[in-house]
Structure 1
Amino acid sequence: MTDLATRPDANDSSPDDGTAIIDDVTTQSDDSGETPPTTYEWAPTEPAPKKRHLGLWIGIPVAAVAIGVGVTSLFLIAPGTSIAGVPVGGLTPGAAAEAVQQQLATTTIVLTGPGGDAEVTAAELGATIDAKALADEAFAQHPAWNPTTWNATPAEVEVTLDPATATEALRAAVPSMYVDPTDATIGFDPASATYVVTPAVDGQGIDVASVEGALTDAFASGDTNIDLAAATAPVPAEGTTAVAEATAGQLNGMLDSAGFYVGDERTVPIDRATFASWLTVTPADRGTFTISADPNAIQPTVDGLAAAVNRAPVDSTTIVNAAGRVLSTPTAGAVGRELGATDGIAKAFADQIGAGNAVYALPVTEVPFHTTSLARMLEVDLSEQRLYVKENGNVVDSWLISSGANNTPTYTGHYNIGYKATVQTMNGYNRDAAGNITGTYSTPNVKWPMYFNGGQAFHGVYWHNNYGHTMSHGCVGMPEWRAQWIYNWAPSGTDVWIHN
């Protein structure tokens, strides 16, 4: 059997693991007579108990909790803080925003009226607040780590309704309180040939502003359900009278100017009723109107443009004197014109009308006119007692006249027609053969006088018929109908040549 023994110095030399090794070796014979070596190992020793530091382990969790609380307070809103009627103390800004938004969405307005009660929530009304900004502001002004900001006065909040969403929800809840508005309309009046306006008529509906105010008050007080006596307000028409009148004014302005133009000339005016028949006036977005024109309706007028626009030139005729000065223009010249290609005019005019412009400039080519100058002259041959009417050196007509007698001769020379009158009294002096004044004369109702040399003139004579002989006090007399003819034929400035 094996004996276990403990060495006296085992505690001093035993290994660190607590096992003692016996160094002594004893012998024991076996049947063979040989003594085999036998080795003995000490049993393991009991491990020494470890020291427990209980105080340390208790202190660590307490410190961690304290630190955690302190750190957490850096992210929380102070206790006692509320946004309107929603308590948000002890919440993070994100949680606070969610709480505020959720309470707003579930806040209910109970509309009371003659037709009974109806409920509508803030969410259905399209109510909005900037919950995130409010929560961030609450945290910024009232952080939990600052006890001086605890239990603050509730933050004020203004609830905003989307007018379209709110109106739709309220109409669905209380349809009996709504009367639809009537938009203004525009139509062409054949009697006055103008566009006239039928004014807009306002409708009626629940006053959204009063609902918005009630919802703001309810939310501020923390109420999630509030009664409201439904009040009505006018519902303006989208198509207002003012916009319709402005559009009608634009249309009537186009009626006044509608046509096809050559320069500033409205060569082809468009009848007002015809022009209106080309147009369609359609209500558009936000109460406006769209004006459009039909190219197919315009095309028949375009097809007739050539006959109305094309014209031959009108040649001009001018009367000049020998110096080339224009004395008069019996026929004024006019430029001719030819219309260019008309392809696409109907479509282009329709587009232009839609943009508000009814003045269409036509593509035309001008054809110049020619001017004929007529150099006119009244020539008197005293030796023949004859007047020759000449144009560009050619005799147009001639007749006998009576010029000045020997004692009051008609003076020779080149002159020009000056003053002209249809009728007058002619006064003068009588002279003897020596040229001495022997008296005066006064002849009334002398027709068609044209003066060319001082007091000497061409004129009609009603007191004698002795033409071809000298008879006057220096003038050139002739029958009245002849005097009238040259009066109209020879403008002031016409050349006069008196010779023998």
Structure 2
Amino acid sequence: MSEIITRHDAGEAPVAGEHPDVRWAPAEPAPRPRRLWLKIGLPVAAVVAAATVCSLVLIAPGTTAAGVPVGGQTVGMAADSISSRLSAIELSLGEGGPTVSAADLGASVDASALADEAFAGSPLWNVTSWFAEYGAPTVTLNAERAATTLRAALPGAYIDPTPATVRFQDGAYVSTPAVDGTGISLDAISAALASALVAGEPTATVAAAPEAVPATVTTSAAESAAERLNGMIAEAGFYAGDDRAVPISAADLASWLTVEADTSGDFTISADAAAIQLAVDKLPEVVNQDPVTAEVLTSDAGEVLKTIVEGQDGRVLGDTAGVARDFADQLSQGDASYTLPADITPRETVSTVRLAEVDLSEQRLYLKENGKVVDTWLISSGRDGAVTFTGRYSIGWRTPLQDMTGTSRDTGTKYTQPDVPWVMYFNGNQAFHGAYWHNNFGNQMSAGCVNMPPALAKQLYDWMPDGGDVWIHS
């Protein structure tokens, strides 16, 4: 506590009620707090913190990645160290041969992945993982850059390969095979550089003997392209419905197409829309048509036996704006069948059933179409002992001329009849045919066949299709 001092002026007595002259003595200064720990503790904390951070971002001491020391480095620094070490390696092309650097060859490794692997396995904080080795590097080369560098160093080792080609010739696409060239093995160079990198060697040597260098555009690629293009030729056309209304010739199609190999060795197709447009402009006069009714001969069961008139669908071409461009795009994808915008009127079909009907009691043949008689004439059928069998049959084998041999069923005698004309078999060895050896038609004269004058036999031969219906009755 401060000390109180009282003082009376000389010769003066103190006045009642007044305090004597009082003043406070100044207090002694208090001692300052001790802060030595700040002077020492803060720097130590900073060091500890820095060490902690470093242990979390740095690779452990003594660690190598792909043979490159990366201890005490960050992942980014380690990746740079690996790439730099690789780039500096000098490669000798044969013992005592010319030398090129890995950098000249565009050599590279996935340095980031190697550095990541080293840090993941050996972070600085993990003292048990110090002095570890990581990475089996795969060295890749820039093929174009390496070839240029090596060709300049050893020009005699290089012969350019000949790529396979595809060309149009004599109405079809044909391929020419690829021919290998020669050069220095890039795989061997990559392996030599990888070994030198891991071993920490500044130099490497690779055999300089040339080896086969295949063409980028292979024979198989050219053959496949030619096959694909010839398939396009086979189907090429403008289609209206299912009908190829306008076929496209092989020469025309080839004149529209450009076939080239790309840098990967694959063949690509492009088409000239302007050239296609010239063909599109001519489509209306070819595509537009009136319907035509088809005419066919059928059996009574409905089977089509013969087409008399093919018939055709009616067609009216629609708007062709954009057809050339669209077809060009389609051709580039390998599709040469273009479906036109067209209105189709399906053809009608008229069917006719023809029947050769023989009335044995009348000895007469009737030619009928859809049940109506269109012609008739007298015939001669089998004699009583060699009758023509009744029933429903159809025309089988036929021939315009034949030597007939057989045995008469009624007499048992053998016969030979040469040059029998217009023969049409309908039941085993029974047939319609012409007979030039008698003129007694209207009476039973044959050994079982139905014969008639040769001129009428030819008329029947031409009129009745194979499979046509036959009815023999009494």
Same topology, TM > 0.5:
yes
Instruction: Give the counterpart letter for 2:89 in structure 1.
Output: I
* Corresponding residue for residue 86 of structure 1: 69
Secondary structure of 1:356's aligned partner: coil
Aligned residue among 375, 388, 392 for 1:396: 375
Q: CA deviation at 1:357?
A: 1.9
Which residue matches 2:203? 227
- TM-superposed CA distance for 1:279, in Å, is 0.9
Cα pair 1:110 1:227 within 8 Å, conserved: yes
Q: CA RMSD in A?
A: 5.6
**Mapping of 1:186-265 within 5 angstroms?**
186-191=165-170, 193-199=172-178, 201-202=180-181, 204=183, 207-218=189-200, 226-229=202-205, 237-260=215-238
1:176 to 2:153 alignment: yes
For 2:104 and 2:443, how far apart are their aligned partners in 1?
Answer: 121
- Secondary structure at 1:27 match in 2: coil
Q: 1:139 aligns with which of 104, 115, 123?
A: 123
Distance 1:182 1:43 in 2: 112
**Given the superposition, is the C-alpha separation of residues 427 and 328 from structure 1 closer, same or farther in structure 2, using an over 3 Å criterion?**
farther
The amino acid that maps onto 1:204 is G
Write the mapping of 1:266-415 to structure 2, written as runs, cut at 5 A. 269-302=247-280, 303=282, 307=286, 313=292, 315-316=294-295, 318=297, 329=305, 331-332=307-308, 334-341=310-317, 343=320, 344-361=322-339, 364-374=344-354, 377-378=357-358, 387=364, 389=366, 391=368, 393-394=372-373, 396-398=375-377
- 1:432 maps to none
Count residues in correspondence. Answer: 436
Cα distance in 1, alignment partners of residues 226 and 332 from structure 2:
14
Normalised by the length of structure 2, the TM-score is 0.65
Q: Shift in Å at residue 168 of structure 1?
A: 3.6
Counterparts of 2:471 and 2:36, CA distance in 1:
142
Distance 1:135 1:196 in 2: 54
Say which SS state the counterpart of residue 163 (structure 1) adopts. Answer: coil
Distance 1:98 1:278 in 2: 55
Hey, what does 1:445 align to over in structure 2? 417
Q: Quick check: 1:380–1:387 contact (8 Å CA) kept in 2? A: yes
Which structure 2 residues correspond to residues 104-183 of structure 1 after superposition, within 5 A? Answer: 104=82, 106-107=84-85, 108-112=88-92, 117=99, 125-127=107-109, 128-129=111-112, 130-131=114-115, 134-135=118-119, 137-139=121-123, 142-143=126-127, 149=128, 152-159=130-137, 161=139, 163-164=141-142, 168=145, 175-177=152-154, 182=161
Structure 1: gaps of 5 or more residues: 1-15, 30-36, 144-148, 430-438
- CA drift at 1:99: 4.9
Give the superposition deviation at 1:190: 1.6
AA at the equivalent of 2:310: A
- TM-fit CA distance, 1:175: 3.9
Give me the whole-angstrom Cα distance separating, in 2, the residues matched to 1:428 and 1:488: 30
Counterpart of 1:81 in structure 2: which amino acid?
P
**1:136 Cα offset (Å):** 5.2
Cα distance change of structure 1 residues 204 and 27 upon mapping to structure 2, 3 Å threshold: farther
Q: In the alignment, what sits opposite 1:427?
A: 408
Deviations, residues 133-153 of structure 1 (Å, cap 9, x unaligned)? 53454335634xxxxx49x43
User: For each residue in 1:83-114, what CA deviation from the matched residue of structure 2 results, as whole angstroms up to 9, or x when unmatched?
Assistant: 225374xx5xxx54455345445432234456
Contact kept? 1:403, 1:409, Cα under 8 Å = no
In structure 2, relative to structure 1, the CA distance for the partners of 1:261 and 1:154 (3 Å cut) is same
Given that residues 183 and 240 in structure 1 are in contact (C-alpha distance below 8 angstroms), is that contact kept between their aligned partners in structure 2? no
Letter in 2 for 1:215: L
Asked if the contact 1:461–1:477 (Cα under 8 Å) also holds between the matched residues in 2, the reply is yes
Q: Which structure has the bigger radius of gyration?
A: 1
The structural deviation recorded for 1:341 is 1.6
Report the Cα distance in structure 2 between the residues aligned to 1:171 and 1:494, rounded to whole angstroms.
86
